[in-house]
Structure 1
Amino acid sequence: MAKKTRTSSKGGDKFLDFSTVKEKREKKQPESRKDAEELRLEEAIFGNLDEFKENLGAEDEEVQIDEGGKVSEQEENGDVALLDDSELFMMDVGEPSKIDSEDAATRDVDMLSNASEDEDFEEEQEEAVWHDSDDERVEVSLLDNARLRKLRRYEDENMLNGVQYSARLRVQFERIYPKPKWALKKTDDDGENSDEEVSLSEASVLPSSLREILQSSVSYAAKKTSVLQPGQIDIKRLKDANFQSPSHSGIRCMSLHPIYPLLLTCGFDRTLRIYQLDGRTNPLLTSMHLRSSDLQTAAFHPDGKHVIAGGRRRYFYIWDLETSKVQKVSRIYGHQDLQPSMERFHLDPSGKFMALEGKNGYVNMLDALTGQFVTNFKIEGTISDVLFDSNGANLFVLSYEAEVWQFDIKAKTIVRRWHVQDAVATTRFSLDSKNRYMAIGSKSGIVNVYELARNDAPKAIATLDNITFSINSLAFSTDGQVLLAASRGKKDTLRLYHVPSFTTFRNWPTSVTPLGRVTAVIFGKGGELCVGNEAGRVGFWKLAHYL
């Protein structure tokens, strides 16, 4: 069978006939007439063409404004017809019209005049570099959000536009953080007396790096204190000392610089961190990671130029802050068997000696900067804690069997030895700055306070039983008027006692004070109180009785 050939409509067998297309174009379509409603809508949208042609050649006339400042309706409708073709269009460059700019300026002036009533708001405002037109259209409710209610000027105030809201936030920010002195414009009078009025308070010691602090000549002097009354204590909470760079493990030890407001922390994250305490930002100045040792103890040397740190190893580190060099002291020649670990050590106030807690009741004395062995002292039993007196002449050793040993360092002799009254397992003890009172904590939570006389035997004067867990932190304030006792056995276990009445302060800490499980505490010369916990945070408080 012969196959039929298929012709494609796209092929060349059939061609387009232009004659038929031309005929279709020549056919006239019947025009549909517009009804009255369609013509009325067309005139409302596109205007009346006949009136436009009639008024096209009319002369320009002045627009009359009535007494109320409004253009009459008749003149307003004919205003477009009186304009030239060049005036019918304009280029939009993003700038507001004259009337809109005057309204916006009026609103800004009114808003700034209201904000200037606040005492902390500046009287003279510099011209802004950039304006956001959306700020005028934004509306913020002060009643819907509880955190914004403090921005109200009266109780029922609710809605604010964006410009007013920005001004209120600026005023509130400057109330909390006033402008620093370096940001204020200097006058001629300020320049004359700037060299004479140099404050030695902690607020003026704000260099940007640790090297600048160590090279500065401004000292951090201890503040005078007033007589503290028992019952209640005036204490203020500040920003956490390490909130900008918290520790990744629990705080094991803390130390304050002897000259500048610097805080040293260490822990099981093997990192030494130094913070500058200003109460607001508390910046991290520097840190050092020691990957081979879980740090247990770290302290500033009394000269302020070195940091000594040790962990559960047979060596410790001496960090030179000026040169950033680290020296590793690896052994005690001839006494290695008595010192299996260098995790717990103590520095005397003069910075000459370093006391290491050894085994079998031995306390090894080394040179604090060279690590060379000097001498050792021995007690009966297991060592719980070691400390020096404020003069550095005597060494006190506390045994776990509730005995206190006092040694004369220079004579290398035992001065006295006594048993702690009604105590079984003693853990920590502390001595005030005047070498008068000694507080001794036990595993049962009881703290016994002794008064140290020069010749007579120590006399127990108080027994504090407010804590029922093992005491792991004891400290006297630098003025000797406050005693702190804490335990990490239970969360928020910390008490403050008035000295010399040894009664608790009733108003602090409260049930909402964020203490955590306390692992380390320290008092500063200016009334600072730093409390470290197992979460790696260091709480920061200030005692108000320091003038």
Structure 2
Amino acid sequence: MPTATKTKRVAVKDIESSSDEEEFNGFNNPEPEEIESERDGEEEELERLVFGDAAGFRQRIKGFKTTEEESKGKELVLQDSDVDSGPGLETVQDADLYFIDTEPTALQEKALSAALEDDEDETGGDAPAWSDSDDERISISLATRPQLRKLRRTEAEDVISGKEYSRRLRKQFQILNPVPEWVQTATSGRPIKKRRTSGGSETSDSSSDEDMDLDGEVLTQQPLARLLQDADTITNRATTVNGAPRKRKFRPEVIDIQRMKDIVTSGPSAITCLEIHPTLPLLLSSGPSSTLSLHHLQPTPPNPNPLLTTLHIKHTPLTTTLFHPSPSDPRIFLGARRRYFHVWNLQTGQVEKISRVYGHQEEQRSMETFKISPDGGHIAIQGSARKGGGILNILDANTLQWVAQARVESTGGIADFAWWADSKGLIIAGKNGEMTEWDMEDRIAVARWKDDGAVGTTTIALGGKSEKSLGGWRYISVGSSSGIVNVYDRKPWHLLPTSATSSLGKKPQSKTTIPNNPTPLRILDQLVTPISHLAFSPCGQIMVMASRWKADALRLVHLPSCAVYRNWPTVKTPFGRVTSVAFGEVAVENKGAEGDLVLLVGNEKGAVRGWELRA
């Protein structure tokens, strides 16, 4: 028996040796044609160390096979920490410590896509209004274009269907542009739909088939409706402290001012009209592009001052757009160089077109310039007729019917006009520098006075409330075509009505303390081109003057000192050609009851930039 066993082992050894010799026969390279040069022992040893030899190569291959066979039988066993782990991991091969993470198979990837689609259906909201059947038939390669490689889930993924491509693009867009917070808040709850009956009453119905078509419209208007409902208390909290009006005091010559993030970076046309609602945090901007934009003034990051909505009126280059000042009557009046103007009701979304002023069509051939009284009761529209000077037609703001007409004698017509603070009269500036104080109650001109210098009056502005002054305004500034701005103090100007009746039975004329040629409080000559814009801050302590005929032509003036601020604007302040200016107050949550005074400037490139003014 021992002899047989020995013979068997030898036979196996001979078979292995013969198989190895056949397997590595190509490495012996026994070609007799090659003539080898004589080499010494040192050279052969060096060649073996660098390139190796057949015997060393066979030995390493055998060792690799042995290691691979042993690793197939190994199992990973989790042991408790209290048990002695033996000699440790010093003798364990690297192949046993790591594994290669392979990509998912086609079946796994298909299951993953189906799971993601199910998740999207559960959280995606409303179903799409339209589906393209070609999306299933087309294929898109994600690996060919570098811009699409970010849509891959694995490095080896390449071709996907059109539907999957659309879904991944939508998901990538939502990651880069998250939904604003005010939209999430507004759409978090489903609004109760209402339908109007023939009698005008509204009945709520959460499951009416007639209201399904209006559901999308209700959701679209919901953010603006909620803003109009809650913004009154927000703004009042920003302008009062402990129930009393908050008083801020600015110092002269140096002002603390900080630039805000641009509300609009550029637009299709110049911004010729800017206005901040006096009680609601709303900003409107418009221009010759026939489009009005409405922004929510909310300077908190990450998305300050979001755009709420826009209104486009075809073939109507807008020249004047104004808010109705009442928070309970959120309407916007839009005028252009047309025989008609529009009224947009923000609560209902209805846009009404007013085609004519009955009885005065010939005098009112254009509605491009108008102003609303501070109490919201009347609208003054500048007439197109210049016979005898100029005409203002006054309409009732609610019924939009003609009420009165103010006619002034001025060479060249009317340059500008403004309402008194108590809405009981207007001041009308003629292009020849003559100012007319017109009383709404008596329908007469109570005073006329001449601007100092009187070189081509271009615009006027009233500001700084004072109950003792004529009309309730403390200051009036008058701009001219030479770049000079005259500032007058109206505090000593009073209206002195007489109660006596003349012997002829005629109503006596009211008298005032306004001199015929008053002396300006200060003459400002910092600008050298025609003045196009003048505006006072709500507190009456800051005045801005600007000219659109020269780039960066804007200055701030402190009142009552009439000192021009010398630290702002700087040479790097990016105004451009100023086409509109507006002051307003914005509520800031982290400041409690105190808000910020903001200055907004629009330019010819369609940009709207803002600055915060701090006392």
Q: TM-score range by the shorter chain?
A: 0.5 to 0.7
Distance 2:58 2:395 in 1: 102
Secondary structure of 1:483's aligned partner? strand
Report what 1:369 is aligned to: 398
Provide the alpha-carbon RMSD of the alignment: 3.4
The whole-number CA distance in structure 2 between the counterparts of 1:46 and 1:210 is 82
Superposed displacement of residue 52, structure 1: 7.7
Task: Give the equivalent residue in structure 2 for 1:40.
Answer: 52
Separation of aligned partners in 2, 1:398 and 1:255: 22
CA distance in 1, matches of 2:55, 2:359: 114
1:512 aligns with 2:535: no
Pair 1:233-2:247 in alignment: no
CA distance in 1, matches of 2:63, 2:373: 106
TM-score by length of 2: 0.59
Aligned letter for 1:271? Answer: T
1:40 to 1:523, Cα distance in 2 relative to 1, 3 A? same
Please list every run of 5 or more consecutive structure 2 residues that lacks an aligned counterpart in the other structure.
Answer: 1-24, 37-43, 75-84, 104-152, 156-180, 186-220, 240-245, 466-472, 495-511, 586-595
Q: What's the offset of the Cα at 1:228?
A: 1.5
Candidates 233, 237, 242, aligned match of 1:218 = 233
Q: Residues 51 and 267 from structure 1, CA distance in 2 versus in 1: closer, same or farther, beyond 3 angstroms?
A: closer
Q: Distance in 1 between matches of 2:539 and 2:56?
A: 90
Match of 1:117 in 2: none
Q: TM-score, normalised by structure 1?
A: 0.66
Q: Partner of 2:347 in structure 1? A: 322
Identify if the C-alpha distance between structure 1 residues 289 and 64 changes in structure 2 by more than 3 Å, giving closer, same or farther.
same
Please identify, of 304-313 and 517-526, the stretch whose mean Cα deviation from structure 2 is larger.
Answer: 517-526
- 1:194-213 Cα distance to aligned partner (Å, 9 max, x none): xxxxxxxxxxxxx9821221
Determine the structure 1 residue equivalent to 2:120.
none
Q: Identify, as 1 or 2, the structure richer in helix.
A: 2
Contact map agreement 1:241 1:530 (CA 8 A) in 2: no
Tell me by how many angstroms 1:240 deviates.
1.5
The residue type equivalent to 2:394 in the other structure is: M
1:495 shift after superposition:
0.5
**Alpha-carbon separation, structure 2, partners of 1:407 and 1:262:** 31
Q: After TM superposition, give the deviation of residue 241 of structure 1 in Å.
A: 2.1
Task: Please show how residues 486-501 of structure 1 align to structure 2 within 5 Å.
Answer: 486-501=546-561
Equivalent position of 1:283 in the other structure? 306
Deviations 1:302-347 (A, max 9, x none): 1241000000000000001111111111111111111121000000
How many residue pairs align between the two structures? Answer: 394
Q: C-alpha displacement at 1:254, in angstroms?
A: 1.2
Q: Is the 8 A contact 2:28 2:54 kept in 1?
A: no
CA distance in 1, matches of 2:60, 2:276: 89
Aligned positions of 1:161-180 closer than 5 A: none
Contact persistence 1:397–1:404 (CA under 8 A): yes
- d(CA) in 2 for partners of 1:353, 1:313: 20
Superposed displacement of residue 394, structure 1:
1.6
SS at match of 2:225: helix
SS at match of 1:430: strand
Per-residue deviation, 1:248:
1.1
1:302 corresponds to 2:322? no
Cα distance between partner residues in 2 of 1:49 and 1:341: 99
Task: Give the Cα separation in 2 of the matches to 1:261 and 1:460.
Answer: 35
Q: Quick check: 2:434–2:449 contact (8 Å CA) kept in 1?
A: yes
Q: CA deviation at 1:441?
A: 0.3
Q: State the 1:456 CA deviation.
A: 2.1
Deviation at 1:294, TM superposition (A): 0.6
- In structure 2, the residue matched to 1:248 is 268
CA apart distance, 1:242:
2.4
1:461 aligns with 2:527: no
Tell me, yes or no, if the aligned pair for 2:464 and 2:541 is still in contact at 8 Å: no
Give the CA deviation at 1:53.
9.5
Equivalent in the alignment of 1:346: 371
Q: Counterparts of 1:237 and 1:380 in 2: how far apart (Å)? A: 44
Q: Work out the CA distance in 2 between the residues paired with 1:266 and 1:251.
A: 6
CA distance in structure 2 between the partners assigned to 1:29 and 1:461 by the alignment: 111
Match in the other structure for 1:433 = 464
- Verify the 8 A CA contact 1:242 1:275 in the aligned structure 2: no
Q: Is the 8 A contact 1:318 1:369 kept in 2?
A: no
Could you list the per-position Cα deviations for residues 473-517 of structure 1 after superposition, in whole angstroms to 9, with x for gaps in the alignment? 001111111111000010000011111111110110000001111
CA shift in 2, pair 1:33/1:523, >3 Å = same
CA contact (8 A) 1:390 1:433 kept: no
Identity %: 36
Q: Find 2:483's aligned residue among 434, 442, 445.
A: 445
